[in-house]
Structure 1
């Protein structure tokens, strides 16, 4: 299969997943949604069932929030459950058993300011500070494949950072860079 065909098929899979994720039949059929994460800075891992029988699981979300905390100062906040749903959809799409790697989850305003001063491409009003953004990679999945799948969901922002080896997704307006 040629690279172009592979990417096109990946976009089709992503669109199918996005459409299926919003259908009432799919919601009824898919009762449990599990997400497995690993923070690349702390090495912490968690496997959590965020939805069970159609209900958000508060204790499982709290475990995910802990792994998604600002590793620079250990501050954490409640992450938008819709972001976790996007992440779970991507993980499920690629069918990977290895944890999704978190490069940057929640960022305190202080950490965001430090990163803005030392790194290019960090937004002053970053959605990371609101618990609505994450920078991720999935072992065994190319950054381009992950970006294409995230774009196909048509949910929030998608940033492509091939040189740094990650994709940014968020629950803000639909846009990409």
Structure 2
């Protein structure tokens, strides 16, 4: 078999495994982000772990133009405010940005999630502790994540996220993390 035959077989196996899973309609998309994901076929996945909770997520969340409902529920729970255990319908556009940036960096290492969704109460508490926490943070809306990789520098991570040309990218070199959100396109250093 050629390399392509193996990819098609693998893709077919994944599609078959998810054939009975309920899907949700796709949200409006950032076409620049999705261009990077086309190389994997029309399958998208995300791989992260949380040092705060000890939990991991490694899931295919999109197949053939549709989000996978059970995977979306898993993502919403994983991205919750771990301090309050509150969840939100996390913005899947940001999951797409994170997945595309991860793919561009060509690593199998999962993202370390430092912060996903934050309740207003948690955000206010963090604002009292740090001037780097925005009052109207995209974290409160479930549209942002602070991420780290051991195998990549914050500069490499930021460049990958910026290449997606979709959303905000903040580089926090001293704290060793990159903020990615699906708000307006902009960059900054913290």
TM-score in same-fold range (> 0.5): yes
1:26 to 15, 35, 38: 38
Structure 2 CA distance for aligned equivalents of residues 21 and 125 of structure 1? 27
Structure 2 CA distance for aligned equivalents of residues 48 and 22 of structure 1? 20
Give the superposition deviation at 1:21: 2.8
Instruction: Name stretches of at least 5 consecutive residues in structure 1 with no aligned partner.
Output: 1-17
1:131 to 124, 142, 145: 142
Change (3 A) 1:117 1:19: closer
**What residue number does 1:94 align with?**
105
Give the superposition deviation at 1:110: 0.2
Structure 1 CA distance for aligned equivalents of residues 126 and 33 of structure 2? 37
Matches within 5 A, 1:24-173: 26=38, 30-173=41-184
Structure 2 CA distance for aligned equivalents of residues 71 and 20 of structure 1? 28
Give the superposition deviation at 1:99: 1.3
Give the superposition deviation at 1:19: 4.8
Change (3 A) 1:151 1:91: same
Instruction: Name stretches of at least 5 consecutive residues in structure 2 with no aligned partner.
Output: 1-30
Give the superposition deviation at 1:151: 1.4
Query: For the pair shown, which has the larger CA radius of gyration, 1 or 2?
Result: 2
Aligned positions, number: 158
Runs of 4+ residues over 4 Å off in structure 1 = none
Q: Normalising by the residue count of structure 1, what TM-score does the alignment of the two structures yield?
A: 0.83
Give the superposition deviation at 1:48: 1.1
SS at match of 2:179: strand
Change (3 A) 1:139 1:103: same
**Structure (1/2) with the larger helix percentage:** 1
RMSD: 1.9
Structure 1 CA distance for aligned equivalents of residues 122 and 105 of structure 2? 31
